[in-house]
Structure 1
Amino acid sequence: MGVNQTREAIAEVFEEVADALETGSFGKKIRVGLTILGSEHGPKELVEGAELAQRQNPDIEVVVIGGGAENQLEIVEAGDEKEAHAKMDEMLLKGTLDSAVTMHYNFPIGVSTVGRVVTPAKGREMFLATTTGTSATERVPAMMRNTIYGIAVAKACGKSCPTVGILNIDGARQAERALKKLQEGGYPLHLAESARADGGVVMRGNDLLMGVPDIMVHDSLTGNVLMKVFSAYTSGGSYESAGYGYGPGVSEDYDRIICIISRASGAPVIAGAIRFAADCARGKLPEKVKAEFALARKAGWDPIIKSLRSSAVPKKEEAEREAVAPPKKPVADAIPGVEVMQLEDAVSVLWRANIYAESGMGCTGPIVMVAPEDKEKALEILKQKEYL
């Protein structure tokens, strides 16, 4: 290390010490990026949330990505949402951000978000697993994955033994039986008891309002509605004023921490989402996810999931599933309209036509993601094969 580098390092240490003495927060700050373009309330509202988070949390350093609102925070200029997402992804990849908060972001199939709300009856925090995205293309296996995702997020946020409840929706009883098999196999699962007189792990509306379990398990579409209600029930719906947002995208192989807010999220939710993103980063969420899946697999995860899957698809589709992917390329354009149960088949059809594609989940439903130069041909093929 040269003389100048040594001086810079010493100066940085003294600056950190001085900052810690002033704020009472010691240790490295968590850098959280926030894209501010695309909100129904304008960039100014998001900046207000960022500044609120910065004031409330001296251990966080917020980096604003976008433009159109004056602020005293670090800012990375971006002209539109697409550029903002690209810069956010690049900074996460390089490690100059520890986590990020954004909206209208497409996750691949297998990744879904775990929300965090404050329940109205007793003010208890509760994690909603999950709120956007698709963990799996079949309902009960998806709910099983949602359970593991929720546990990992709760543990990253400091809950060492989170309790799990299953919302009383289609598939709840199947999920309950499967989770109990996993528990019998040795997975350390802590099931909550409903506050209703008949008890049980299947939760009712009262349990939602009271925040009985630490983690409420359901499908993503239900979770999305619940997030809207919990976030905006005091404001009439157009302004989300409570909670922590839709949460981080989670999957066994997903190594980034990207938390989702909606276009209706107001400054209080923005501040909460930034805190949530920082908690996930400090709690090493990706490592927590891998650790939970390792425990689940030791307890018999794979055969349990296999037993839940629907009957095999036709041989023609099986052949298409075995298609080899063409060379990977950036996929910036989305094709909506494919049924979620046919999504992977549609991708395979494009692969067989030498078009690189990926499956994903947009804000309005399943999407096939392709490169801009391939979109026209991909649309033609998918229509011809009756996927659209």
Structure 2
Amino acid sequence: MEEKKIKQLIGKTMLEIAEAIETGSFGQKTRVGITILGSEHGSKNLIDGAVLAARNNPDMEVVLIGPKNDSGLETVEVDSEEEMHTKMEELLDSNHISACVTMHYNFPIGVSTVGKVFTPGMGKEMYLATTTGTSSVHRSEAMVKNALHGIITAKSMGLENPTVGILNLDGARQVERALKDLDSRGYAINFAESMRSDGGSVMRGNDLLCGTADVMVTDTLTGNIMMKVFSSFTTGGSYEASGFGYGPGIGEDYERTILILSRASGIPVVANALAYAKDLAKGRLAEKSRTEFQKAKKSGLDEILDSLKETKKAAETAEEVKMPEKETVTGQIAGIDIMDLEDAVQALWKEGIYAESGMGCTGPIVRVNEDKMEDAVKALVKAEFLAG
């Protein structure tokens, strides 16, 4: 028995040494800050979450930023939220802390946060990209960037090849085409497959509940609502009791590791958010972000994003097109974004193929004669309404 204990101790020590070599810490704890003013539940709620996180994470040292308290944790004293955020930035920039958790913090345009939740269906962890901030003022461009932000976060957390799904929202098919284009140019994306029978990388409600994808791509406003539902559906919304908070701000050339909490976040979420911040710091989030952006840009990211904002296709399809003779349309073509649906019908008319728009059980569809399905699909791919 004694020999077994010795072997276990040696094994544990070797793992700690290996981790220290990998992270360069050699026994040093990762220092993570948290601002303790601004919660709807009071400063004690945040302090109690910090104490819980410090107790559960022996490799982390928590630094409080706010009023004097009796927690026993290191406290950098400030008296206002404005002063608190200024001090937080100073501590990050001086490397006194490696990451910080805060509330009500304004990121610049181009930076958005990646939340982390427990999905209720299977209890899996899932990254919501994104939940606060704005990646771009252009919706589709923002969602493509959100996907990259989610991948960066997941990789920093140790998922080397995270699966990526796109929530079935307006613009989802356009985003899917852009991401598949980026993938085909060399930036590898591991697309998730919906649990629904018709599959595909565009996710439905069931996929949200079950955590089908490691990274779920959405627009920020939808992601923010989803975070609130996932974290507080058992409490009525006034107290967020589950999950890891709204996550780190990610953006090209953005270096600080700042994670966001809601003012309604409860003690368990505060503790989890601090652990999330610690793991991201150990995973070298800023370094991972630079690397992934460089790889994506090398694969044509900027060109793909520019193409999303072009109006050429709309101008081409705006011309009056004569409708072909009506036919029976029982063939269904899915995968076209609802915002492009009528333009897709016009593109087929231009090719002499009669088509109608419709809405199937999984989203928008173009209806054509079954005998012309193959030609119609080819025409829609050529016109860039479908991915090739």
TM over 0.5: yes
What's the counterpart of residue 378 of structure 2?
Answer: none
Q: How far apart are the structure 1 equivalents of 2:34 and 2:51?
A: 11
**Contact in 2 for aligned 1:113/1:131 (Cα 8 Å):** yes
Q: Any residues of structure 2 matched to 1:189-228 within 5 Å, and which?
A: 189-228=189-228
Q: Any residues of structure 2 matched to 1:1-388 within 5 Å, and which?
A: 27-67=27-67, 69-311=69-311
Q: How far apart are the structure 2 equivalents of 1:104 and 1:297?
A: 31
For normalisation by structure 2, the TM-score amounts to 0.73
Deviation at 1:53, TM superposition (A): 0.3
Task: Say which SS state the counterpart of residue 34 (structure 1) adopts.
Answer: strand
Q: How far apart are the structure 2 equivalents of 1:198 and 1:27?
A: 50
Task: Say which SS state the counterpart of residue 177 (structure 2) adopts.
Answer: helix
What's the counterpart of residue 370 of structure 1?
Answer: none
What's the counterpart of residue 13 of structure 1?
Answer: none
Q: How far apart are the structure 2 equivalents of 1:199 and 1:285?
A: 32
Structure 2 residue identity aligned to 1:30? T
Structure 1 residues 152-192: Cα deviation after superposition (integer angstroms, max 9, x where no partner): 00000110100000000011000000111111111110000
Q: How far apart are the structure 1 equivalents of 2:165 and 2:303?
A: 23
What's the counterpart of residue 338 of structure 1?
Answer: none
Q: How far apart are the structure 1 equivalents of 2:294 and 2:110?
A: 17
Give the count of matched residue pairs.
292
Task: Say which SS state the counterpart of residue 105 (structure 2) adopts.
Answer: coil
Change (3 A) 1:233 1:68: farther
**Contact in 1 for aligned 2:68/2:77 (Cα 8 Å):** no
Task: Say which SS state the counterpart of residue 193 (structure 1) adopts.
Answer: coil
Task: Say which SS state the counterpart of residue 271 (structure 2) adopts.
Answer: helix
Deviation at 1:270, TM superposition (A): 0.3
Deviation at 1:69, TM superposition (A): 4.2
**Contact in 2 for aligned 1:44/1:69 (Cα 8 Å):** no
What's the counterpart of residue 368 of structure 1?
Answer: none
Structure 1 residues 276-301: Cα deviation after superposition (integer angstroms, max 9, x where no partner): 11111111111111111111122221
**Contact in 1 for aligned 2:165/2:202 (Cα 8 Å):** yes
Structure 1 residues 187-220: Cα deviation after superposition (integer angstroms, max 9, x where no partner): 1100000001111000001000001100000110
**Contact in 2 for aligned 1:64/1:73 (Cα 8 Å):** yes
Structure 2 residue identity aligned to 1:223? G
Structure 1 residue identity aligned to 2:94? K
Change (3 A) 1:178 1:106: same
Structure 1 residue identity aligned to 2:181? K
**Contact in 1 for aligned 2:64/2:74 (Cα 8 Å):** yes
Q: How far apart are the structure 1 equivalents of 2:68 and 2:235?
A: 26
Structure 2 residue identity aligned to 1:252? E
Structure 2 residue identity aligned to 1:275? A
Is there any run of 5+ residues in structure 2 with no aligned partner, and where?
1-12, 313-388
**Greater gyration radius:** 2
Structure 2 residue identity aligned to 1:122? M
For normalisation by structure 1, the TM-score amounts to 0.73
Q: CA RMSD, aligned part only?
A: 1.8
Deviation at 1:68, TM superposition (A): 5.9
**Contact in 2 for aligned 1:44/1:68 (Cα 8 Å):** no
Structure 2 residue identity aligned to 1:94? S
Deviation at 1:27, TM superposition (A): 2.5
Structure 1 residue identity aligned to 2:202? V
Structure 1 residue identity aligned to 2:38? G
Q: How far apart are the structure 1 equivalents of 2:71 and 2:121?
A: 37
**Contact in 2 for aligned 1:113/1:130 (Cα 8 Å):** yes
Deviation at 1:26, TM superposition (A): 6.2
Task: Say which SS state the counterpart of residue 107 (structure 1) adopts.
Answer: coil
